[in-house]
Amino acid sequence: MSLITLAVICVIGNIITVADKMSELSPWLGYAFYGVMLALTAAFIVLPTVKIVFTPELEPSGELMTQEDKDSADVMVKKTAQNVFVLTTVSQNGTLDVFTCLSMNISLINRLVELRGKRPSFWQILRLYWSVASSSVLIASADEALDDINLGELLGISGINATGVLLKSMTNGMLNALVTMRVGMTALRYLEVGSIEFNQNKASIRKEVRRKTMMRMPAVVAMGVKNGILGIKNIF
């Protein structure tokens, strides 16, 4: 069974569980919850995806991208990664983290496509979505596996269960932000060079993306912590 299938089963299962608990209080609460989830899915996943699909495809040989657009796209990727870090750090819910990562990464790809005026190929879009979904599920699964472990005690930090929870939450947030940075930078690189050069130099481009992602993560986390303290603005 693929990770995407597991992700869908996990998310739907948790949604049904929450809806059942709300229905025990009142059937209308259950219906309302399903309605809210459908509306959120339509607004943050389905509609942005449809918008991407109907955007003209980038020429295989690539098209010139101005330095101003590159700089704007770079800022867009970093801000999205910061917001993903904050939201998935504080959420304390694996299913919500998966939905957050998927919706915000789709939104990021959509905004990059809007800025460029062209989209990647369908296969490349599917690869990006696969990367987000599979990585988010693995991170959420690891997060759930650590629920019963006191990381503060394990690492020899006295005090505390609270310390362990904080460390676990921040690690979860950093991993999700890392996925967002990687996906955003990969999409941006594809939109810069086109499918021909991207496929010919796939290994070196991926290596470059990994290197730049690791270099930028400390600043992303630092700004994410700052934004988390001051309040998140313009998340989507």
At 150 the pLDDT is 56
Cα 7 to Cα 100: distance, rounded to the nearest angstrom? 13
Average pLDDT estimate for 44-59: 85
- The overall average pLDDT reported for the chain is 79
Asked if pLDDT for residue 204 goes beyond 90, the answer is yes
Average pLDDT estimate for 25-44: 85
Q: How confident is the model at residue 232 (pLDDT cuts 50, 70, 90)?
A: very low
Between residues 3 and 93, which one has the greater pLDDT? 93
Measure CA 10 to chain center.
17
DSSP conformational letter for 57: B
Name the 3-class secondary structure at 214: helix
At 212 the pLDDT is 92
Cβ atoms of residues 110 and 90 within 8 Å: no
Give the other-Cβ count within 10 Å of 185's Cβ: 22
Range of lowest pLDDT (24-28, 198-202, 231-235): 231-235
DSSP conformational letter for 32: H
Range of lowest pLDDT (73-77, 95-99, 125-129, 164-168): 164-168
Mind listing the pLDDT tens digit for each residue in 180-200? 999 999 999 988 888 888 889
Name the 3-class secondary structure at 149: coil
Q: How confident is the model at residue 209 (pLDDT cuts 50, 70, 90)?
A: very high
